[in-house]
């Protein structure tokens, strides 16, 4: 049985402005801000809103995260954001290796590993994303693909550090499709085993959340699947009422 907190993570992607953030955070903070310590609500707005959201949630048990960070401390990297900048703006977490970064920005496992290492060194908690494409799943390669992503994306130095893994099948993101409960359970079990050998901890020591078309209607069922320590929510995290329902189902 998992002894982890239950993580409810909202990934706003490239959506949101100040007015939206204020309205949404106010509702989340009042409706879901006083959650028991066993539930960790993490909002990951675009970089421009991290500080604002961090300021708004002061006094609530809600945390803020970034959606990416650079692997270097600082430097001439136009358009990038460093882990220290996110931390300075009030973030406690950072999503890394999301399939939209891997696909849209050519991020390799190698790059994700270095970003994760930078995050850890900066005392940001990385949420490392992995997941297979539909072609890979249909070819029966999902477990193998995810295993390789884990081996190559999780830094050895993560041993003994706090980090999360998000299992996000690429074909389930933004599509309304989700794997069966059995498929999620099998993959989470597989991930737990791979992580155990990678970082030398007991299987299940690292929280593994599920992401991909999580909504208010399916959140409760997904959260009860063995090995699922929370959910990473995209589209449904932009609607305050729906996101609050997901938080409450935890
Ligand atoms: P979705 O996105 O909930 O809109 O499917 C999840 C994600 O990309 O993290």
> Per-residue pLDDT for the chain (250 aa), expressed as one digit of tens each?
356 899 999 999 999 999 999 999 999 988 876 778 899 999 999 999 999 999 999 878 899 999 999 999 999 999 999 999 999 999 999 999 999 999 999 999 999 999 999 999 999 999 999 999 999 999 999 999 999 999 999 998 888 788 999 999 999 999 999 999 999 999 999 999 999 988 887 778 899 999 999 999 999 999 999 999 999 999 999 999 999 999 999 9
Mapped onto helix, strand or coil, the DSSP state of residue 233 is strand
By the 10 Å C-beta count (0-12 exposed, 13-18 middle, 19+ buried), 36 is classed as exposed
Check if 168 is active-site. yes
Residues with CB under 6 A from ligand 1: 11, 168, 173-174, 211-214, 232-236
Residue 245 to residue 250: CA distance in whole angstroms: 9
- CA dihedral (242, 243, 249, 250) in degrees, to 10, reads 180
The active-site residue, picked from 4, 168, 188, 190, is: 168
Q: Are 94 and 65 in contact (CB under 8 A)?
A: yes
Which residue in 40, 70, 71, 98 is the catalytic one? 98
Quick check: is 98 catalytic?
Answer: yes
User: Ligand 1: distance of its center to the CA of 233 in Å?
Assistant: 5
Backbone phi, psi, residue 94, to 5°? -150, 130
DSSP run (H or E) holding 137: helix 134-138
């Amino acid at each position: 049985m998992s002894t982890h907190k239950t993580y409810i993570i909202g990934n706003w992607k490239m959506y949101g402005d100040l007015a939206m953030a204020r309205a949404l955070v106010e509702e989340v903070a009042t409706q879901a801000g006083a959650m028991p310590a066993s539930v960790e609500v993490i909002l990951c707005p675009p970089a421009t809103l991290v500080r604002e959201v961090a300021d708004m949630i002061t006094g609530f048990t809600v945390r803020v995260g970034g959606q990416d960070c650079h692997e270097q401390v600082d430097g001439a990297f136009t358009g990038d954001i460093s882990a220290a900048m996110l931390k300075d703006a009030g973030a406690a977490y950072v999503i890394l290796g999301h399939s939209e970064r891997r696909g849209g920005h050519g991020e390799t496992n190698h790059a994700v590993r270095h970003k994760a290492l930078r995050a850890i060194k900066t005392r940001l908690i990385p949420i490392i994303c992995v997941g297979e494409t539909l072609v890979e799943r249909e070819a029966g390669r999902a477990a193998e693909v995810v295993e390789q992503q884990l081996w190559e994306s999780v830094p050895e130095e993560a041993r003994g550090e706090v980090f999360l893994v998000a299992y996000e099948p690429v074909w389930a993101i933004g599509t309304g499709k989700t794997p069966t409960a059995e498929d999620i359970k099998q993959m989470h079990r597989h991930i737990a085993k791979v992580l155990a050998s990678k970082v030398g901890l007991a299987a299940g020591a690292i929280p593994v959340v599920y992401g991909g078309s999580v909504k208010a209607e399916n959140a409760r069922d997904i959260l009860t699947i063995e090995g699922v320590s929370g959910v990473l929510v995209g589209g449904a995290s932009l609607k305050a009422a729906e996101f609050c329902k997901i938080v409450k189902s935890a």
